Structure 1
Amino acid sequence: MDHSNKLHILQQAVDLTAMMQEKGEQEQWTDVVESISIRENILNGIFPVSEGDNSIEFKALLECLIDKNEQLTQLCSQQKESLQFELKGITKNKKAVNAYQTV
């Protein structure tokens, strides 16, 4: 694959990651999950990189992808913590109901 095609594909990965982040911020997690395999396939198309891919444009896009991915990862971690907190609350409520029913 030539360098310009890799740049185009890398831009698609950046755009998709940005869209995933937006969907996560809107709490549309199903859309985020559905996009994971698409993004993985896109990234598999450009890696491994070669010496010819060592351009300023390629590096800039790659850095942008890494930044967006870190933001998305942080958003996912926050959602995970929130869900764990909710699950603990549900578990406590269930225990309280069970205790009340046994009395």
Structure 2
Amino acid sequence: MSESYAEFHDRLAKIYRQQAKTGRVGRKAVAIDRNGYVIVKGKANRRSFPWSGLMMVAVAFFAIKGIMIAQFGPDFYSQHVARMADASAAEQVMSWTMSPDPVSRWVATQVKSVF
């Protein structure tokens, strides 16, 4: 019994020495199971903000606006957006987001040149 207890403390001391050497205490979780074995479990990485997903949504938004401007024409599109500006609050927000901007105009010219 005392031999296994001494082995346990030796393993634990080795783990603490490694943690002190690397300075990475927070990235690992140390647990002791019923048999007295030390189990080192890696902690999950913290998830960051999905910048790539947000960028894909923005590109798709401007692409759809550009395709709509290219298909309907800039004058017709602007008239429909202006009509929404005089309606309810929700339609005013849609009018503001769907108003032609330089990026969507550029996309519209590129789509017109291809098709």
Greater length-normalized contact order (CA 8 Å, ≥ 6 residues apart): 1
Structure holding more strand per residue: 2
- For the pair shown, the structure with the greater C-alpha radius of gyration is 2
Task: Give the alignment's TM-score, normalised by structure 1.
Answer: 0.31
